[in-house]
Structure 1
Amino acid sequence: MILKQFLLGLHLTSGIGHAGEKRVIEVIDNHLIPENYPWNIETLLAVVRPLPQHIAKIKATYVAACQKAETSQENYFTYFDDCYPIQLKEIFDPPLILFYEGNLNALELPNLAVVGTRTATPYGLECLRSLLPNVINRGTAIVSGLAKGIDVMAHQVTFANQGVPIAVIGTGLNIAYPAKNKVLQRQVAQHGIVLSEYARDVGPHKSHFPARNRIIAGLSSATLVIESKIKSGSLITANYALQNNREVLSVPGSIFSENSQGTNELLQLGAKLISRSEEVIESVRTFS
């Protein structure tokens, strides 16, 4: 079995988890395993070193996972492929596998993460319309999720300005969540790229979205937060950006609006205040 198929089989095997995948990345990346080593279950167990109570589960699912990997028609790339974004390798917990639909060239552009509340107001939309066009026209891709609210609006503004959208989702690529975003998801794939850590038919789960947020922040040179409540996924994304030594940008809002409590708090904690598109452009950089 070639390494790429082995890694996909590993990714699909129950009981490995992010910690196990991270160990695999470290072992291969640091050349701690001979190049001619056989990629099989014994290698997997030797590298991952699972707890004894997990070994039976791993063995039971490994064979089926490898068969699925060998016949998979999904497009995907691994941490070790040339197309894997450099900036994503820099984060604490880089994904081992990313499935994709769309154009891989989108990942080579300088990019900006745009996140915010699901309950966006007209103020949030006007901020997007005011701040993003100049950024997009400079060749910057816009990275976001596909949740309602700011995510959807960010992609719509990107389309309106002939920009390149990048969406990271918390389900398999054949599932739209929410379902009403199915057309939008297809449009993003046509004009840019949709990425997911999850294989086909994997549905939404609450644990998937913080994991997705780390990828959104990890892909981006800066994260722009527009309208956010105190406890929200967008603040999780901003926190990941800070952990990755990336800049966090925040649009201030009314002290009377619940949707501005999170963004205003980010400003108190040292985020860059954004009121003009030029201030966003200053923070976007290219990784090399």
Structure 2
Amino acid sequence: MLYCRNRLIHMHRCRGITRKKLNLFLQVDPTLQSIYALSPTELQNKFLFTRKQAENFYQDLHHPMLLQQMKQDLATYKVITIKDENYPKLLKYINDPPLVLYAKGKLEFLSHQPAISIVGTRMPSNEGKHKTEKIVQPLIEKDFMIVSGMAKGIDRFAHEAALKYNGKTIAVLGAGFQHIYPKQNRQLFEEIVKKGLLLSEYPPHIPPAKHQFPERNRIISGLSYGTLVVEAMERSGTLITVGQALDQGREVFAMPGSILDPKTKGCHQLIQDGAKLVYEAKDILEDWDRIGKFLYSSIEYKK
């Protein structure tokens, strides 16, 4: 099993590969060993690669430097695959779960419940930080874990509030650990390493790219029983996380604000569409007692 695990981590790092292709590999050969013997033409014919994809994947798969880099990362970082016992169960049953996760910090947080994701605009109002703290502090007192994306604005406020009140927090990054983004969050990054958990689907050397941030949102929502939007514009990237949460069958919460502030318009739209209005942490705690515990117990039953 260990060898299969390392093969999965190895292939995950190769150019030309997708999660869909890796899942297909695992269906055809759970050990992944036979994939190493295939030529680019065989990869193209058996698994519907384009010629370029097949050549890139083949070259990387047999490149000694990539294998050496992987071994160095395995010695430096904690790496979890979907085949591992400590892979988070809530995440395992979403559509398109990540096959490999890189981690720094307290790995035991992956099994902690309850957890809620808190997200919002990168350009919050003057009240944004106070609104976030007002919700986070009572949740921390009830041992909720706070999950967010370590972006500017509401994400940052959520992590900082969790740390301030000695709570648990997970930051899901849109790049590898060697590329802290945004750069002004370096101190927060280091603090989460010591007191919380950092996760990334991307190998440590992968720099940030525009498409990676919407992609990582499914992990933020997938780790949590529900997602709270503190502030969001009418056309906000935050709403991508909301869409992921809904697709995953998770709860969606939204905080109201002034009708004169465009930074709250996205929240008001969510409330109109059926998201639960959150005025104080009690609104989330009540929902957890009514619905959230059932979600966790149903996931436990699946194992």
Residue 232 of structure 1, aligned match among 236, 241, 246: 236
Moved more, 91-100 or 49-58: 49-58
Relative to the length of structure 1, the TM-score reads 0.91
Q: Which has the higher helix share?
A: 2
> Is 2:152 aligned against 1:148?
yes
State the distance in 1 between where 2:37 and 2:259 align.
Answer: 58
Moved more, 64-73 or 115-124: 64-73
SS in 2 for 1:282: helix
Match of 1:125 in 2: 129
Cα offset for 1:255?
1.6
State the distance in 1 between where 2:35 and 2:286 align.
Answer: 48
State the distance in 1 between where 2:29 and 2:101 align.
Answer: 23
Cα offset for 1:68?
3.0
> Is 2:272 aligned against 1:263?
no
Superposed counterparts of 1:37-48, under 5 Å? 38=33, 40-42=35-37, 45=43, 48=47
Moved more, 80-89 or 131-140: 131-140
Residues 77 and 99 of structure 1 are in contact (CA less than 8 Å); yes or no, is this contact kept in structure 2? yes
Residues 4 and 33 of structure 2 are in contact (CA less than 8 Å); yes or no, is this contact kept in structure 1? no
Residue 182 of structure 1, aligned match among 167, 186, 200: 186
> Is 2:89 aligned against 1:86?
yes
Q: CA RMSD in A?
A: 2.0
Relative to the length of structure 2, the TM-score reads 0.87
Match of 1:77 in 2: 80
Match of 1:62 in 2: 61
State the distance in 2 between where 1:256 and 1:154 align.
Answer: 24
State the distance in 1 between where 2:216 and 2:36 align.
Answer: 28
State the distance in 2 between where 1:195 and 1:121 align.
Answer: 28
State the distance in 2 between where 1:230 and 1:91 align.
Answer: 27
Moved more, 57-66 or 254-263: 57-66
Q: Which consecutive residues of structure 2, in runs of 5 or more, have no partner in the other structure?
A: none
> Is 2:4 aligned against 1:3?
yes
Cα offset for 1:206?
0.3
Q: Write the letter of the residue equivalent to 1:12.
A: R
Cα offset for 1:275?
0.7
State the distance in 2 between where 1:193 and 1:149 align.
Answer: 19
Q: Which runs of 4+ in 1 moved over 6 A?
A: none
Cα offset for 1:47?
7.6
Residue 207 of structure 2, aligned match among 203, 209, 218: 203
Q: Write the letter of the residue equivalent to 1:134.
A: P
> Is 2:106 aligned against 1:103?
yes
Residues 4 and 30 of structure 2 are in contact (CA less than 8 Å); yes or no, is this contact kept in structure 1? no
Q: Which consecutive residues of structure 1, in runs of 5 or more, have no partner in the other structure?
A: none
Cα 1:83–1:261 change in 2 (3 A) is same
The structure showing larger relative contact order (alpha-carbon pairs under 8 Å, at least 6 residues apart) is 1
State the distance in 2 between where 1:109 and 1:22 align.
Answer: 27
Residues 143 and 165 of structure 1 are in contact (CA less than 8 Å); yes or no, is this contact kept in structure 2? yes
CA deviations 1:179-211 (Å, max 9, x no partner) are 111110111111110000111221111001001
Cα 1:229–1:250 change in 2 (3 A) is same
State the distance in 1 between where 2:244 and 2:37 align.
Answer: 34
State the distance in 2 between where 1:47 and 1:151 align.
Answer: 43
CA deviations 1:86-131 (Å, max 9, x no partner) are 1101111100100000011111112100000011123222211211
